[in-house]
Amino acid sequence: MSINTFEDAVALTKKFTTKPSNEELLKLYGLYKQATDGDNETERPGGFDFKAAAKYNSWLNFKGLSKEEAERKYRELVDELAKKYR
């Protein structure tokens, strides 16, 4: 299956019948935020909000990636995950 657009990839994630692992979800989140918002310039979350910190760090991992490259990597990841979770 080939995903043609970023929007198709986002829609496909909503059709997964099983939830991806936390690591996979974080990677999806980071790539999505990089593709839609660009580099993470937000303030680091507080120390005990572990979920927010993990999401923040995941997005930060893709700093410097262009919108187009982040979209491409997101589509590739969704394509890979769809084989496991759809």
Q: Where are the domains of the chain?
A: 6-85
Whose CA is closest to 40, among 30, 52, 50?
30
Percent of the chain with pLDDT over 70: 98
Per-residue pLDDT tens digits for 37-59: 999 999 999 879 999 999 999 99
- Tell me, what's the pLDDT at 17? 94
Assign domain 6-85 one CATH number from 1.20.80.10, 3.40.640.10, 3.30.1300.10, 1.20.1250.20: 1.20.80.10
**In the predicted model, is pLDDT for residue 83 greater than 90?**
yes
- Tell me, what's the pLDDT at 47? 77
Q: How far apart are CA 53 and CA 41, in angstroms?
A: 14
Half-sphere exposure of 39 (CA within 13 A, CB side): 4
- By CB neighbour count within 10 A (0-12 exposed, 13-18 middle, 19+ buried), where does 75 fall? buried
In the block, which residue shows the tokens 């700093």? 63
- Tell me, what's the pLDDT at 21? 97
- Tell me, what's the pLDDT at 2? 65
